[in-house]
Amino acid sequence: SSNTFFIMSITTSTINVRGNLSTSDDIPYTKYFELCSYDNWSLHHYVSLIIDNYKFARKDRTHQVFFMTLESINKNSSISQDIRDIAQNLIKNRKPGTCTYWMRSSRNHASTEMDA
């Protein structure tokens, strides 16, 4: 629909305007869920927008935030059931290696920081 196109163009403009952020902590990972229509959410689209537009974005962190945000949405009873159903479906259909990859990567990163 034209409404979806409008939302997507706003998202792209917002990301491009802020694309030169100086650190990975400045990347607005969760804005995707506010700006994109929930019926268009996908891991591929999310990762593409973040990685392609933010120099310091890390794919493992992008996957982690995507699924953590979906889990949070799914557990929040004040969010409409339609949106929670979409979140639950995306969680249920994630590829098996995606979750373990970012969990392993996060653990390795944490142990490296503790060694420093």
pLDDT tens digits, one per residue of 59-102: 999 999 999 999 999 999 999 999 999 999 999 998 776 544 44
| Statement: the pTM of the whole predicted model exceeds 0.75 | no
Q: Where are the domains of the chain?
A: 2-115
Between CA 98 and CA 90 the distance in angstroms is 12
Question: Which of the residue ranges 43-52, 65-74, 103-112 would you say has the lowest mean pLDDT?
Answer: 103-112
Between CA 97 and CA 62 the distance in angstroms is 14
pLDDT at 55: 86
Residue with the bigger pLDDT between 47 and 7: it is: 47
Read off the amino acid at residue 36.
Answer: C
When the pLDDT of each residue in the chain is averaged and rounded to a whole number, the result is 74
SS3 per residue for the chain: CHHHHHHHHHHHHHHHHCCCCCCHHHCCCCHHHHHCCHHHCCHHHHHHHHHHHCCCCCHHHHHHHHHHHHHHHHHCCCCCHHHHHHHHHHHHCCCHHHHHHHHHHHHHHHHHHHHC
pLDDT-derived band of residue 25, with 50, 70 and 90 as boundaries?
low
